[in-house]
Structures are given as C-alpha cells and as structure tokens.
Amino acid sequence: MYSYIKCKRLNVVSLMPCGPCHILHGVRVQVLWPQFSRNKFLGEGLELSARSRLSTQLRLTKIYAKVVTIPIELEEATEPPINLFKPKEPYTATIKSNQKIVGPKAPGETCHIVIDHGGNVPYWEGQSYGVIPPGENPKKPGMPNTVRLYSIASTRYGDDFDGKTASLCVRRAVYYDPETGKEDPAKKGICSNFLCDSKPGDKVLITGPSGKVMLLPEDDQKACHIMVATGTGIAPYRGYLRRMFMENVPTFKFEGLAWLFLGVANTDSLLYNEEFISYQKQYPKNFRYDIALSREQLNKKGGKMYVQDKIEEYSEEIFKLLDGGAHIYFCGLKGMMPGIQDTLKRVAEERGESWDQKLLKLKKNKQWHVEVY
Ligand code: FAD
C-alpha cells in the first residue's frame, strides 16, 4: 500500500493512505522524526511500523510512504492571499484529476476536481477560486464567459500536501424543463459542466483566491466551530477539517470542538463521508458529525429531514456554545438560510431570547459566517 507522509521540518509527520482516490480509509499515524532512524529505507519510501489507530479494515502492518515536504512559507504569511489573479489576467492551471464522488442513487452529479496551480495561486482554507469557462458569453456574443466562484475544498497544502493543488467540489448544473420534466442540454450550466467534464491535463483559467468571510479563525485553537452545509457547501469545511484533524502543522494544533451538520438528499449524496467518519472515530471529543438526509429521514413532525431540523434537535447545546463564543458557519445553496433562520428564531423565542439581538451580537463578535449562492 502506498501512502503519503507529510513532514514539517523533519519534525512531526502524519501519514495517510492515498490509493487511487482521494478518500481516506480511516488511517492516521503520527510518528516523531527521530523514530525514523529506526526504520529502513525501502526503495523510494520508508518502512514504518505503524503504531496507533490503524483502521481494523485495512489491518496494515507495513506502510510504504513517499515523503513530501510541506512548503513552510504557506504557514508564515500573516494575511491571506487575495486576488492574485484577476479576470483580465487569469492563471492558466491544469486539471490534475476529476472524480465523481456521489453514488448512483444520488440525484445529480458532484465531482471532486483537483487543480494544479503549480504553487502560483496560494490560498487559505475557506477561500474560493474563480473559474472562467472556455467559450463565448452567451449573453454577450464576442465576449469571454464570466467568472464563476467555487469554494476550495482542500487545505492550503492541497490534497497532495505539496502546496501546488487546490480541490473543488462541483455540482453539475442541469436544467429540467418545468413543463415536460425533461433535461434541456441547451440550458445546462456552463462552468459546472465544463469542470465536471474536464480530464487530467486540460487547462483551466482561474482567478483569486477570494473571500475572507469563511476564513477559519485560528487565534483560539480551543474554539468551537459549528459548520452547517448543504450539498457542495461542504467544500470549505472539508478544508477546515483536514487542517484540524488530518494535517499536523506546528502553527495550528486544534484542541477545540468542530461540529459538522451536513444536509443532502440521501446516503449516496453524502460528500467526503469516509473522511468525516474517520475523524469521528479518532477524535470523538473534538469532532461531531450530524447528517440530514431529506429523502431518507423524517423529522419529528413526520416531514423531510433538513439540516435545520438537526439544528433544532441540538438547539440547547448550540445556543450554549454560541453564548460561549462558538463560531457558526453556513455554506451552500441560498435557499437553506430562511429555514435555518426561522428555526433559530423560534428556538430563541422559546428560550425567552430575542433572535434579532442575538444575531446582531453574533455578527458584531465575528462569530457568524455565511457564504451561500
Ligand atoms: P450557469 O451557466 O451560470 O447557469 C446558471 C443556472 O442557470 C444553471 O442551473 C443553468 O442550468 C441555468 N440556465 C442556463 N440557461 C438557462 C436558461 N436559458 N433558462 C433557464 N435556466 C438556465 N458551486 C459548486 O458546485 N460548488 C462550490 O463549491 C461552489 N462555491 C461557490 C462559492 C461562491 C462564493 C459562490 C458565489 C458560488 C459558488 N458555487 C459553487 C456556484 C457556482 O459559482 C456556479 O454558480 C454554479 O456552478 C453554476 O454555474 P454554471 O456556469 O454551471 O451555470
């Protein structure tokens, strides 16, 4: 089994399987560098005696690893990079891989797309890239297509830990004629279809990175982060969670609580589920994961289970955490917010609180982070 080790100044490393796809199989091994001296080199890799928390399914005894040195400068910047590339002068990046990440019963298609930016378009967790799809703008003949934004789903190191890639989680936008119910390919989304159809080696024009509202506040490493996502809104949280639980960088040692609420249609639509389950197993005190499957689960009133129903279920705890300074994030389709806001308002009123005042306070304290589209 081939895996990657990421190492930081030859000090602490963590290791994970990569295999043919990006999905983790629940293995995380941490080894202090001095222990390497006891291990033999095997060809291009190292033989490690994996000593902790190996997935029982894999029953690994030996792990062959490639060493990737983390580009240290990515930790040193004090400000996030912003708009290094603008629409008039975009960066030409290359598609490294493209993988459909939902099962056959998922309504719609979502892809995990890794883009190689060669280290030239660095970003921080929670930022977005712009993508300019090829071709003419249908609304302005003769003009290029406009930029579409996509939240970045990897940490600043990328899925390969070399600081040269960014991953996007893209849902293919299709159009169904409301009268016939049939798909109309002439009206399909331009950029999402370009990205979901892309192949390794294809060129892609990117802009950015952009956005500050979803940056992960790192000043308090014991903080609580409540993350609410619908569908591809999971993207920034995948980056946060990899930074918190998968990577091991000296400047960010997460000891707080990360609580993820993910709403999708059904089990086949779950995104990055294996990664999250593995964090849940390894860090039960630091990571909570709740899912709402609207087409498979019912809420307590017998209706479809949406993410706000899960929030309501845990509202007492959530309100306490918010009172204690927790950050709350919302990312995904615009349509998610009214239902969530109504639920939060109702819960606040049941507790004898004014939601409007509470919301003002959360915003003033920079605890409230929303990126919906
Ligand atoms: P467009 O070509 O822009 O079309 C938009 C919609 O209109 C499509 O649904 C299309 O089917 C429909 N349409 C086209 N022509 C017609 C017509 N004639 N009549 C009626 N309808 C028509 N998306 C993600 O998948 N993942 C992300 O992580 C993500 N992050 C985002 C982050 C931010 C900050 C923002 C603002 C948006 C984000 N988006 C994300 C959404 C993304 O930017 C695009 O809006 C989305 O992919 C659709 O773009 P498109 O070019 O495919 O569709």
pLDDT tens per residue, range 221-232: 999 999 999 999
349 is catalytic: no
Which helix (H) or strand (E) element contains residue 149?
strand 148-151
Question: Rounded distance, CA 240 to CA 215, Å?
Answer: 9
Does pLDDT of 354 surpass 60? yes
How many angstroms does the Cα of residue 61 sit away from the middle of ligand 1? 46
Mean pLDDT to the nearest integer, 188-213: 98
Please report the atom of ligand 1 found closest to the CA of residue 191.
51
How many angstroms does the Cα of residue 234 sit away from the middle of ligand 1? 16
Q: Which residue has the higher pLDDT, 10 or 343?
A: 343
- How much is the pLDDT for 174? 97
**Residue-wise DSSP of 51-96:** -S---TTT--SEEEEEEEE--THHHH-SS----SBBTTB-EEEEEE
Q: Please report the sign of the dihedral spanned by the C-alpha atoms of residue 11, residue 17, residue 18, residue 23.
A: negative
pTM score, two decimals?
A: 0.86
Please report the atom of ligand 1 found closest to the CA of residue 211.
34
Please report the atom of ligand 1 found closest to the CA of residue 235.
28
Quick check: 335 and 373 in contact, CB under 8 A? no
Q: What is the ipTM of this complex?
A: 0.99
- How much is the pLDDT for 46? 34
Q: Which of 132, 175, 205 to mutate to test the pocket of ligand 1 (most atoms within 8 A of CB)?
A: 175
User: How many other C-beta atoms can be found within 10 angstroms of the C-beta atom of residue 368?
Assistant: 18
- How much is the pLDDT for 74? 82
Q: Which of 4, 91, 150, 279 is catalytic?
A: 150
Q: Which of 114, 192, 234 to mutate to test the pocket of ligand 1 (most atoms within 8 A of CB)?
A: 192
Nearest CA-CA partner of 174 in 110, 263, 95: 110
Please report the atom of ligand 1 found closest to the CA of residue 110.
25
Confidence of residue 77 (pLDDT cuts 50, 70, 90): confident
Confidence of residue 69 (pLDDT cuts 50, 70, 90): low
Among 8-17, 180-189, 345-354, the minimum mean pLDDT is found in: 8-17
- How much is the pLDDT for 160? 83
**Residues near ligand 1 with C-beta < 6 Å?**
128, 148-151, 169-171, 173, 175, 187-193, 232, 235, 371, 373
76 is catalytic: no
pLDDT tens string 311-342: 999 999 999 999 999 999 999 999 999 999 99
The single residue listed with the structure tokens 């399909």 is 188
Whose CA is closest to atom 30 on ligand 1? 150
State the DSSP code for 122: -
Q: Please report the sign of the dihedral spanned by the C-alpha atoms of residue 181, residue 184, residue 187, residue 190.
A: positive
Does pLDDT of 216 surpass 70? yes
Mean pLDDT to the nearest integer, 118-142: 96
Confidence of residue 61 (pLDDT cuts 50, 70, 90): very low
How many angstroms does the Cα of residue 101 sit away from the middle of ligand 1? 19
pLDDT tens string 236-272: 999 999 999 988 777 888 999 999 999 999 999 999 9
183 is catalytic: no
Mean pLDDT to the nearest integer, 277-305: 96
373 is catalytic: yes
Does pLDDT of 201 surpass 60? yes
pLDDT tens string 134-189: 999 999 999 999 999 999 999 999 998 889 999 999 999 999 999 999 999 999 99
